Amino acid sequence: MSEKNLKTYTLITVTVAAFLSPFAGSALNLALPVIGNEMHGSTLLLSWAVSGYVLASAAFLIPLGRLSDIVGRSKIFILGQGIFTATSLLCALARSMTVLIAARCIEGMGAAAMFGTGMAILSSVFPARERGKALGVYTCTIYAGLSLGPSLGGIMTHYLGWRSIFVFATIVAAANFTLSALKVQRPAREKIKKEPYEFTSAVLYTAGIIAFLYGISSVGVNSGAKHILLAGLVALIIFVLVELRAAHPLLNLRLFRNTTYFFSNLAALINYSSTYAIGFIFSLYLQVVKGYDAQVAGMILLIQPAMQALLSPYAGTLSDRVDPRFLASMGMTVITAGLLLFSFISPCFPIWLVMANLALLGIGFGLFSSPNSNAIMGSVDQEFYGVASSTLSTMRNTGQALSMAMVTLIISMYLGDVQLTPAFSAEYVLAARTACLVFAVICGVGIFASLARGKTIREKTGSIHLQDQRRGR
d(CA 100, CA 46): 10
pTM for the model stands at 0.75
Task: Say if residue 135 is in the same domain as residue 278.
Answer: yes
Lowest mean pLDDT across 18-22, 142-146, 311-315 = 142-146
d(CA 103, CA 97): 10
Assign 258 to helix, strand or coil: coil
Look at residue 260 and tell me whether its pLDDT is greater than 80: yes
- Among 285, 286, 333, 317, residue whose Cα is nearest residue 433: 285
Top pLDDT among 312 and 244 is at 244
Residue 446 lies in a domain: yes
Top pLDDT among 444 and 408 is at 444
- Among 46, 67, 64, residue whose Cα is nearest residue 110: 64
Task: Say if residue 286 is in the same domain as residue 421.
Answer: yes
Phi first, then psi: give them for residue 456, nearest 5 degrees: -100, 150
Contact 389, 68 (CB under 8 A): no
Task: Say if residue 345 is in the same domain as residue 213.
Answer: no
Task: Say if residue 76 is in the same domain as residue 209.
Answer: no
Cα 431 to chain centroid, rounded: 23
Final residue of a structural domain among 249, 274, 309: 249
Residue 67 lies in a domain: yes
Which range has the top average pLDDT, 315-324, 398-407, 457-466?
398-407
d(CA 370, CA 313): 7
User: CA of 447: how far to CAs of 312, 332, 344, 374, in Å?
Assistant: 19, 6, 22, 17
* Region 108-117 average pLDDT: 86
Assign 455 to helix, strand or coil: coil
In the prediction, which pLDDT does 426 show? Answer: 86
Say which amino acid occupies 245: R
- Consecutive H or E run containing 457: strand 456-458
Domain harbouring 290, CATH code:
1.20.1250.20
Residue 192 DSSP code: P
Q: pLDDT for 43-91, tens place per residue? A: 778 888 888 888 888 888 888 888 887 888 888 889 999 999 999 999 9
* Region 2-19 average pLDDT: 81
Which range has the top average pLDDT, 42-56, 102-116, 414-428, 448-462?
102-116
Task: Say if residue 368 is in the same domain as residue 399.
Answer: yes
In the prediction, which pLDDT does 238 show? Answer: 94
Residue 65 lies in a domain: yes
Task: Say if residue 243 is in the same domain as residue 285.
Answer: no
Report DSSP letters for 196-233, one per residue.
---HHHHHHHHHHHHHHHHHHHHTTT-TTHHHHHHHHH
In the prediction, which pLDDT does 457 show? Answer: 44
Task: Say if residue 381 is in the same domain as residue 274.
Answer: yes
In the prediction, which pLDDT does 464 show? Answer: 39
Q: pLDDT for 86-110, tens place per residue? A: 999 999 999 989 999 999 999 989 9
Residue 399 lies in a domain: yes
Look at residue 26 and tell me whether its pLDDT is greater than 90: no
Residue 186 lies in a domain: no
Q: pLDDT for 321-367, tens place per residue? A: 777 778 888 999 999 999 999 999 999 899 999 999 999 999 998 88
Residue 72 lies in a domain: yes
Task: Say if residue 237 is in the same domain as residue 350.
Answer: no
* Region 443-450 average pLDDT: 88
Final residue of a structural domain among 249, 266, 284: 249
d(CA 64, CA 60): 6
| Mean pLDDT, the chain, integer | 82
Task: Say if residue 240 is in the same domain as residue 310.
Answer: no
Q: pLDDT for 182-210, tens place per residue? A: 877 655 455 566 778 888 889 999 999 89
d(CA 335, CA 360): 7
In the prediction, which pLDDT does 386 show? Answer: 63
In the prediction, which pLDDT does 333 show? Answer: 93
Contact 59, 105 (CB under 8 A): no
Q: pLDDT for 288-308, tens place per residue? A: 889 888 788 888 888 887 787
User: How confident is residue 463, by pLDDT bands cut at 50, 70 and 90?
Assistant: very low
Q: 345: which residues sit within 8 A by CB, 6+ positions away?
A: 285, 354, 429, 432, 433, 436
In the prediction, which pLDDT does 125 show? Answer: 78
In the prediction, which pLDDT does 465 show? Answer: 41
Look at residue 317 and tell me whether its pLDDT is greater than 80: no
Task: Say if residue 291 is in the same domain as residue 228.
Answer: no
d(CA 89, CA 169): 8
Top pLDDT among 128 and 431 is at 431
Final residue of a structural domain among 234, 249, 264: 249
In the prediction, which pLDDT does 147 show? Answer: 67
Top pLDDT among 116 and 439 is at 439
Phi first, then psi: give them for residue 457, nearest 5 degrees: -125, 155
Give me the residues paired with residue 457 across strands. Answer: 465
d(CA 270, CA 152): 29
Burial degree of 416 (CB within 10 A; 0-12, 13-18, 19+) = middle
Look at residue 462 and tell me whether its pLDDT is greater than 50: no
In the prediction, which pLDDT does 190 show? Answer: 54
Q: Containing domain of residue 222, as a range?
A: 198-249
d(CA 410, CA 406): 6
Lowest mean pLDDT across 154-168, 269-283, 312-326 = 312-326
Residue 190 lies in a domain: no
Residue 193 lies in a domain: no
Task: Say if residue 131 is in the same domain as residue 271.
Answer: yes
Name the percent of the chain lying above pLDDT 70: 89
Top pLDDT among 125 and 261 is at 261
In the prediction, which pLDDT does 206 show? Answer: 92
Where are any strands of DSSP class E within 340-430? Answer: none
Task: Say if residue 139 is in the same domain as residue 286.
Answer: yes
How many domains in the chain? 2
User: How confident is residue 169, by pLDDT bands cut at 50, 70 and 90?
Assistant: very high
